[in-house]
Structure 1
Amino acid sequence: MRDEYRGWERHSDLLFGALPYLLLGLSLLLAVTDSPLGVWRREHVVTIVWAGVAAVWTAATFTVPTRGHYRMARGHPLTIIYFIGLLALAAVLLSRDDVFVLFTATAFLQALVLLSTSWAFLCVFCASFVVNTVPDGFPEPTIPAWTGYAGAIVVQTVVVGWINLLFSKLDALSLQRKQTVSELRTALAENEGLHAQLIAQAREAGVHDERRRLAVEIHDTLAQGLAGIIRQLEAVGAEDERVRPDVEWRRHITTAHELARESLAEARRSVQALRPEQLEGSTLPGALATIARKWSDEHALPAGFATNGTVRPLHADLEATLFRVAQEALANITKHARAGKVGITLSYMEEMAVLDVIDDGVGFDPPAAEAVAGIRDGNGLGLVGMRARLERVAGTLEVESAPGEGTAISACVPFEAQHMEFGKAGP
């Protein structure tokens, strides 16, 4: 649309800039061909000379200074001089042949585009005076003749002037709208840049938060567990079976084994939280279809999966987030919902990907559940964890549920997020 408008504007400039020459050439052609075929008169040579002067004047005071762009002529110092010379030359040519009224019409067509309103109406008045006076002179000294003469000038000035003024205002309004659209596009581009920057900052902050969380969790679980194992083994080495009974020695060994098993389980849990294994060799729709089928087989309940829209690859962090949300939602259904059937839908929209998990279970009160979400694996139903995962990738979570009415969970992630420079750490 913008290229089409620019093309129209270029053609409009070309036509308006060529208008004086077209009307002058047409008038001259009609003037020199009004004689019988083969007859050439001296008056034609004089007319051609004056037409050449008019063409040179137009080029020197209008075409060259504006470089062919007539909008530049508005307010140009040479514009008034151009119109004075145009009307003078039009009067000379009109005195030689009436057909040069076509060339004089140039003043009517250009006045209100190139001149301010007051000067434009004055120019239209002068052009009307030339058209109605030069060919036949002043009217007879009678009231009817002068009334008709003056009326013609006034009507032409008002009608032609207001028509030209209307088109001039419409043209100015079009230019103003074009400028407004350009400013809006610039503002929109700036807003998109700011939006992308905010997403990048949110993502970076989420990565740092996740790293800190993992560091604290490793310190509180793996590090402490390994430290406990070391202490138990050191205690074993320090024991003397001749001093301590055998049962004390074995107690240290058993404790060390238990701590090792717990630390190993915590290590596996932390690794699994980084990247779902199911996504390593599969697409997100394929992985979701697989866990839906496995969940259905394990619990002997129907669990359908479907995709909407054109499937497109997402950033690994976005796919991992949606996959973990689906896993958590299915785990919640297993623990709390007592559902008869489950449906999972992955929708690819214009600006985001949306994961919906719906069940027909007993439902719950979401605000109340999130209010007590501090209890691990308790009434929080994993909603806080899901919401935190999504916020780290600039996503959102919506939960619709009520006691006895089932539950619908909707997780949205924006496609803009995948254009950011993500860190390697993920949820």
Structure 2
Amino acid sequence: MLIVQPVDESMVVDLGLCGLAAAWMLFMFTLRPAWWERPRIMGVFFVGLVVINAVLVARNPAFGLFTPAPYIYAFTILPWPWRLPGVAVVAVVAGSAQASDVTKTTAVGLTIYAAVLVANIVMMCGTAWFLHLAEREEEQRVQALAELSRANRMLEATLAENAGLHAQLLAQAREAGVLDERQRMAREIHDTLAQGLTGIITQLQAAEQMHEPPPQWRRPFEAVKRLARDSLAEARRSVDALRPEPLETGRLSDALADVTGRWSKLHGLAVQVTTTGTVRPMPPEAEFALLRTAQEALANVAKHADATRVGVTLSYLENEVALDVRDDGAGFDPAGFESGTEGGFGLTIMRQRIEGLSGILRIESEPGAGTGISACIPTLPAGSHA
């Protein structure tokens, strides 16, 4: 005879709640990794899991064995400071399961029950607090390492830039030394050899006009004059060869046009060149100094300014010639360069070159407002040149 045992409805409900908890974790967490970084959805998931666990513990304290799962989720998915109340709620559920056999109808029983709950809350919240401190220290350590790495990269970039500037300074110094020596040699040839040969030719011509040389002296006399003229022409060619290339074939205004044209082609930025006043000859050293100032100013524009407009103005005034180079680039603090704290070697070279000719170099700039460099060199008034 078959005997059918009645089904325990309580067990069915418990199994259903366990299945619901498993399905809840599977659907809300395991199968949804994209939701892990969404605090609100994870908060709903955690609350639902705690409610299911609390119902299970209320039905059977043995289900308190499942409380580690809500603890783990509280520590991993709840952001600070919501982690503390989340852990406290789970601690209450766990404490209720642990003190389920305590009689709650007496003062002693209630005291023991409350002590168990408080012990669970203090222990787990304390654990959460210390874990939070450890996480914060780890974040600070990672941030410090990131800042240190960034500082190292900046230092390496600065060192590389300084090395490039140092190499450029050495190259400029060598170039300036070579050019200065060439100018000195040109002046020496002009002031001694060329003028001496000119004097010899003048004296020979004067002697020829005063006294007709005897026939036997005519050929040697003409040979001396021809040799002096040839030597003078060679000396002048040597002087011209020692001048800067752009000044070899033209005046300063032409040389500026040539330099700015080549700079524009190289950097893809047009330069507006303007010449005002009456163009007149200048001493070679003055033309050389102004041309080098323009070249250095344009080099600084290319390296630092990030400009969209550049203008070069050459002004022939009554007693001086002025060169202005202006751009609308990033600008800088001239005080920093003047004090030597930020570099500015090219500016120092420009200033020394201009002031060496009794001139004045002015720098007008500020961060974000562009830069203007003005060089003025005193010259003879117009019409005073031979």
TM-score category (smaller protein): 0.3 to 0.5
Q: Which has the higher contact order (CA 8 A, sep 6+)?
A: 1
TM-score, length-scaled by structure 2: 0.43
Q: Between Structure 1 and Structure 2, whose CA radius of gyration is higher?
A: 2
TM-score, length-scaled by structure 1: 0.39
